[in-house]
Amino acid sequence: MSGRTDGGTGRYHAGWHRAIRYVAQRMVLKPVVHSVTRTSVEGLDNLDGLERPFVVVANHSSHLDTAVMVSSLPREVTSHLAVGAAADYFYAKWWTKLATSMFFNTYPIHRTAGSSRRSRKRKGLTQRLVAEDVPVLIFPEGTRSRDGVMRAFKPGAAAVCVSRSIPCVPIALIGAYDAMPPGRSWPVEGRPRVRMLVGRPMRPRPGEKAAEFNDRVAARVRTMLEMQTPYVVADSAPPPAQPGGQAQEEAS
Protein backbone atom coordinates (compact mmCIF):
# COMPACT_ATOMS: atom_id res chain seq x y z
CA MET A 1 0.00 0.00 0.00
CA SER A 2 1.42 3.34 -1.02
CA GLY A 3 -0.29 5.59 1.53
CA ARG A 4 -1.56 5.74 5.08
CA THR A 5 -5.08 4.92 6.14
CA ASP A 6 -5.66 8.10 8.09
CA GLY A 7 -8.13 10.91 7.49
CA GLY A 8 -11.16 8.65 7.89
CA THR A 9 -10.28 6.20 5.09
CA GLY A 10 -9.91 3.08 7.24
CA ARG A 11 -13.28 1.64 6.16
CA TYR A 12 -12.15 1.50 2.54
CA HIS A 13 -9.39 -0.94 3.52
CA ALA A 14 -11.30 -3.01 6.06
CA GLY A 15 -11.67 -6.70 5.34
CA TRP A 16 -14.98 -6.87 7.21
CA HIS A 17 -16.44 -4.20 4.94
CA ARG A 18 -15.25 -6.02 1.81
CA ALA A 19 -16.96 -9.15 3.10
CA ILE A 20 -20.22 -7.29 3.67
CA ARG A 21 -20.03 -5.74 0.20
CA TYR A 22 -19.40 -9.11 -1.40
CA VAL A 23 -22.63 -10.43 0.06
CA ALA A 24 -24.53 -7.23 -0.74
CA GLN A 25 -23.25 -6.90 -4.32
CA ARG A 26 -22.98 -10.52 -5.48
CA MET A 27 -25.66 -12.33 -3.48
CA VAL A 28 -28.29 -9.60 -3.20
CA LEU A 29 -27.77 -6.88 -5.79
CA LYS A 30 -26.69 -9.01 -8.75
CA PRO A 31 -29.72 -11.36 -8.67
CA VAL A 32 -32.02 -8.33 -8.39
CA VAL A 33 -30.35 -6.54 -11.32
CA HIS A 34 -30.62 -9.64 -13.49
CA SER A 35 -34.22 -10.25 -12.51
CA VAL A 36 -35.34 -6.81 -13.68
CA THR A 37 -32.97 -6.26 -16.64
CA ARG A 38 -31.15 -8.27 -19.30
CA THR A 39 -27.66 -7.04 -18.54
CA SER A 40 -24.73 -7.97 -20.76
CA VAL A 41 -21.07 -7.05 -20.46
CA GLU A 42 -18.53 -6.66 -23.26
CA GLY A 43 -14.82 -5.92 -23.23
CA LEU A 44 -13.78 -7.52 -19.95
CA ASP A 45 -10.61 -8.72 -21.65
CA ASN A 46 -9.59 -5.05 -21.81
CA LEU A 47 -9.05 -5.25 -18.04
CA ASP A 48 -6.35 -7.92 -18.24
CA GLY A 49 -3.33 -6.81 -16.24
CA LEU A 50 -5.07 -3.85 -14.61
CA GLU A 51 -3.57 -3.04 -11.22
CA ARG A 52 -4.63 -0.69 -8.44
CA PRO A 53 -5.07 2.19 -8.17
CA PHE A 54 -7.16 3.29 -11.13
CA VAL A 55 -10.15 5.48 -11.90
CA VAL A 56 -13.32 4.12 -13.53
CA VAL A 57 -15.51 6.59 -15.42
CA ALA A 58 -18.82 6.16 -17.22
CA ASN A 59 -21.67 8.09 -18.75
CA HIS A 60 -24.48 8.63 -16.25
CA SER A 61 -28.20 8.60 -17.00
CA SER A 62 -29.78 6.36 -14.36
CA HIS A 63 -29.56 5.27 -10.74
CA LEU A 64 -29.24 1.82 -12.28
CA ASP A 65 -25.75 2.65 -13.58
CA THR A 66 -23.79 1.98 -10.40
CA ALA A 67 -25.75 -1.17 -9.57
CA VAL A 68 -25.00 -2.62 -13.00
CA MET A 69 -21.29 -1.86 -12.73
CA VAL A 70 -20.55 -3.06 -9.20
CA SER A 71 -22.54 -6.26 -9.71
CA SER A 72 -21.14 -7.05 -13.17
CA LEU A 73 -17.49 -5.99 -13.18
CA PRO A 74 -14.97 -8.67 -12.12
CA ARG A 75 -14.46 -9.14 -8.42
CA GLU A 76 -10.82 -8.16 -8.88
CA VAL A 77 -12.03 -4.70 -9.93
CA THR A 78 -14.82 -4.18 -7.42
CA SER A 79 -13.31 -5.68 -4.26
CA HIS A 80 -11.66 -2.38 -3.30
CA LEU A 81 -13.61 -0.01 -5.55
CA ALA A 82 -15.00 3.13 -3.89
CA VAL A 83 -17.83 5.00 -5.60
CA GLY A 84 -18.11 8.77 -5.59
CA ALA A 85 -21.65 9.76 -4.60
CA ALA A 86 -23.32 13.16 -4.47
CA ALA A 87 -23.17 14.26 -0.84
CA ASP A 88 -26.28 16.42 -1.10
CA TYR A 89 -28.35 13.45 -2.33
CA PHE A 90 -26.96 10.23 -0.85
CA TYR A 91 -25.56 11.63 2.39
CA ALA A 92 -28.54 13.77 3.36
CA LYS A 93 -30.16 10.99 5.44
CA TRP A 94 -28.48 8.39 7.63
CA TRP A 95 -30.28 5.46 6.03
CA THR A 96 -29.30 6.38 2.45
CA LYS A 97 -25.72 6.91 3.63
CA LEU A 98 -25.72 3.49 5.31
CA ALA A 99 -27.31 1.67 2.35
CA THR A 100 -25.05 3.19 -0.29
CA SER A 101 -22.00 2.52 1.87
CA MET A 102 -22.91 -1.14 2.29
CA PHE A 103 -23.82 -1.83 -1.35
CA PHE A 104 -21.53 0.56 -3.21
CA ASN A 105 -18.69 1.55 -0.84
CA THR A 106 -19.48 5.20 -1.45
CA TYR A 107 -17.62 8.31 -0.42
CA PRO A 108 -19.10 11.84 -0.56
CA ILE A 109 -18.51 14.18 -3.49
CA HIS A 110 -19.68 17.74 -2.94
CA ARG A 111 -21.26 19.18 -6.08
CA THR A 112 -21.59 22.71 -4.67
CA ALA A 113 -18.91 25.06 -3.43
CA GLY A 114 -18.22 25.05 0.26
CA SER A 115 -15.81 27.00 2.41
CA SER A 116 -15.90 24.96 5.61
CA ARG A 117 -12.87 22.97 6.69
CA ARG A 118 -14.96 19.79 6.61
CA SER A 119 -16.08 20.49 3.06
CA ARG A 120 -12.52 21.15 1.88
CA LYS A 121 -11.32 17.98 3.58
CA ARG A 122 -13.94 15.84 1.86
CA LYS A 123 -13.16 17.36 -1.52
CA GLY A 124 -9.68 15.84 -1.24
CA LEU A 125 -10.96 12.37 -0.39
CA THR A 126 -10.63 11.07 -3.95
CA GLN A 127 -6.96 11.97 -3.99
CA ARG A 128 -6.40 10.38 -0.58
CA LEU A 129 -8.11 7.16 -1.60
CA VAL A 130 -6.09 6.64 -4.77
CA ALA A 131 -2.93 7.55 -2.86
CA GLU A 132 -3.79 4.58 -0.62
CA ASP A 133 -4.30 2.25 -3.63
CA VAL A 134 -8.09 2.42 -3.49
CA PRO A 135 -9.58 2.58 -7.02
CA VAL A 136 -12.53 4.91 -7.49
CA LEU A 137 -15.58 5.13 -9.72
CA ILE A 138 -16.60 8.65 -10.78
CA PHE A 139 -19.33 9.92 -13.11
CA PRO A 140 -17.62 12.91 -14.76
CA GLU A 141 -20.89 14.47 -15.94
CA GLY A 142 -21.56 15.28 -12.29
CA THR A 143 -25.22 14.29 -12.40
CA ARG A 144 -27.57 12.07 -14.36
CA SER A 145 -28.53 13.07 -17.86
CA ARG A 146 -32.21 13.98 -17.99
CA ASP A 147 -32.63 12.86 -21.61
CA GLY A 148 -30.15 10.00 -21.92
CA VAL A 149 -27.66 12.07 -23.95
CA MET A 150 -24.12 12.17 -22.58
CA ARG A 151 -23.12 15.63 -21.37
CA ALA A 152 -19.68 17.22 -21.14
CA PHE A 153 -17.27 15.61 -18.70
CA LYS A 154 -15.94 17.66 -15.81
CA PRO A 155 -12.13 17.29 -15.51
CA GLY A 156 -11.96 16.10 -11.90
CA ALA A 157 -11.49 12.40 -12.65
CA ALA A 158 -8.94 13.16 -15.36
CA ALA A 159 -7.06 15.45 -12.98
CA VAL A 160 -6.71 12.60 -10.48
CA CYS A 161 -5.29 10.34 -13.19
CA VAL A 162 -2.85 13.00 -14.38
CA SER A 163 -1.67 13.94 -10.88
CA ARG A 164 -1.09 10.31 -9.90
CA SER A 165 -0.12 8.91 -13.32
CA ILE A 166 -2.74 6.17 -13.01
CA PRO A 167 -5.00 4.60 -15.65
CA CYS A 168 -8.59 5.51 -16.38
CA VAL A 169 -11.04 2.76 -17.33
CA PRO A 170 -13.75 4.15 -19.67
CA ILE A 171 -17.15 2.48 -19.55
CA ALA A 172 -20.13 3.12 -21.81
CA LEU A 173 -23.58 2.21 -20.52
CA ILE A 174 -26.29 1.64 -23.12
CA GLY A 175 -29.95 1.17 -22.26
CA ALA A 176 -29.82 2.17 -18.60
CA TYR A 177 -31.71 5.40 -19.27
CA ASP A 178 -34.58 3.59 -20.98
CA ALA A 179 -34.57 0.91 -18.30
CA MET A 180 -34.78 3.36 -15.40
CA PRO A 181 -34.86 7.04 -16.35
CA PRO A 182 -34.63 9.82 -13.74
CA GLY A 183 -37.85 10.04 -11.76
CA ARG A 184 -38.31 6.29 -11.44
CA SER A 185 -37.41 4.34 -8.32
CA TRP A 186 -37.55 0.95 -10.07
CA PRO A 187 -36.81 -0.26 -13.62
CA VAL A 188 -39.60 -0.45 -16.18
CA GLU A 189 -41.34 -3.77 -16.76
CA GLY A 190 -40.24 -6.31 -19.33
CA ARG A 191 -36.58 -6.79 -18.32
CA PRO A 192 -35.15 -4.10 -20.62
CA ARG A 193 -31.72 -4.72 -22.08
CA VAL A 194 -28.72 -2.92 -20.57
CA ARG A 195 -25.24 -3.19 -22.08
CA MET A 196 -22.01 -2.33 -20.32
CA LEU A 197 -19.06 -1.74 -22.64
CA VAL A 198 -15.68 -1.81 -20.89
CA GLY A 199 -13.00 0.04 -22.83
CA ARG A 200 -9.24 -0.33 -22.80
CA PRO A 201 -7.65 1.56 -19.88
CA MET A 202 -6.22 4.92 -20.90
CA ARG A 203 -3.15 6.58 -19.43
CA PRO A 204 -2.23 10.27 -19.42
CA ARG A 205 0.49 11.11 -21.90
CA PRO A 206 3.73 12.74 -20.71
CA GLY A 207 3.06 16.42 -20.12
CA GLU A 208 -0.65 16.07 -20.86
CA LYS A 209 -2.90 18.48 -18.98
CA ALA A 210 -5.99 17.35 -17.13
CA ALA A 211 -8.31 19.14 -19.58
CA GLU A 212 -6.65 17.41 -22.52
CA PHE A 213 -6.84 13.98 -20.94
CA ASN A 214 -10.46 14.65 -19.98
CA ASP A 215 -11.26 15.40 -23.63
CA ARG A 216 -9.68 12.13 -24.71
CA VAL A 217 -11.55 10.10 -22.11
CA ALA A 218 -14.87 11.73 -22.96
CA ALA A 219 -14.23 11.11 -26.65
CA ARG A 220 -13.51 7.44 -25.97
CA VAL A 221 -16.75 6.94 -24.03
CA ARG A 222 -18.71 8.84 -26.67
CA THR A 223 -17.18 6.73 -29.44
CA MET A 224 -18.05 3.50 -27.64
CA LEU A 225 -21.62 4.73 -27.26
CA GLU A 226 -21.90 5.68 -30.92
CA MET A 227 -20.20 2.56 -32.28
CA GLN A 228 -21.78 0.35 -29.57
CA THR A 229 -18.57 -1.58 -29.04
CA PRO A 230 -15.77 -1.48 -26.44
CA TYR A 231 -13.18 -2.21 -29.11
CA VAL A 232 -12.39 1.14 -30.66
CA VAL A 233 -9.14 2.72 -31.77
CA ALA A 234 -10.20 6.33 -31.25
CA ASP A 235 -7.92 7.90 -28.66
CA SER A 236 -8.24 11.60 -29.21
CA ALA A 237 -10.80 14.32 -28.83
CA PRO A 238 -12.71 15.34 -31.96
CA PRO A 239 -11.37 18.42 -33.76
CA PRO A 240 -12.87 21.73 -32.63
CA ALA A 241 -15.88 22.96 -34.54
CA GLN A 242 -15.19 25.50 -37.26
CA PRO A 243 -16.55 29.04 -36.79
CA GLY A 244 -20.00 29.42 -38.29
CA GLY A 245 -20.78 26.64 -38.56
CA GLN A 246 -23.59 -8.54 -29.24
CA ALA A 247 -22.33 -10.05 -26.46
CA GLN A 248 -23.99 -13.01 -24.85
CA GLU A 249 -26.13 -12.19 -21.86
CA GLU A 250 -24.07 -12.44 -18.71
CA ALA A 251 -24.83 -15.47 -16.63
CA SER A 252 -26.92 -14.60 -13.63
Q: How far apart are CA 37 and CA 64, in angstroms?
A: 10
For the chain, the domain total comes to 1
pTM score of the predicted model: 0.86
* 115 or 212: which leads in pLDDT: 212
In a domain, 244, yes or no: no
Query: What would the pLDDT profile of 41-76 be if each residue is shown by its tens digit?
Result: 999 999 999 999 999 999 999 999 999 999 999 999
pLDDT of residue 6: 45
pLDDT band at 244; cut points 50, 70, 90 = very low
Query: What would the pLDDT profile of 168-224 be if each residue is shown by its tens digit?
Result: 999 999 999 999 999 999 999 999 999 999 999 999 999 999 999 999 999 999 999
In a domain, 214, yes or no: yes
Range of the domain at 156: 10-227
Q: What 3-state DSSP class applies to 30?
A: helix
Looking at this protein, which amino acid is placed at residue 67?
A
**9 pLDDT exceeds 80?**
yes
pLDDT band at 118; cut points 50, 70, 90 = very low
In a domain, 248, yes or no: no
**CA-based end-to-end distance of the chain:** 34
Looking at this protein, which amino acid is placed at residue 251?
A
In a domain, 239, yes or no: no
pLDDT of residue 154: 97
In a domain, 131, yes or no: yes
In a domain, 234, yes or no: no
Region 34-45 average pLDDT: 98
Region 219-238 average pLDDT: 85
In a domain, 61, yes or no: yes
Q: Could you tell me the CATH number of the domain that includes residue 138?
A: 3.40.1130.10
69 by Cβ neighbours in 10 Å (0-12 / 13-18 / 19+) ranks as buried
pLDDT of residue 218: 98
Strand ranges across the sheet with 136-138 = 38-42, 193-198, 168-174, 55-58, 136-138, 82-86, 106-109
pLDDT of residue 174: 98
Q: What 3-state DSSP class applies to 228?
A: coil
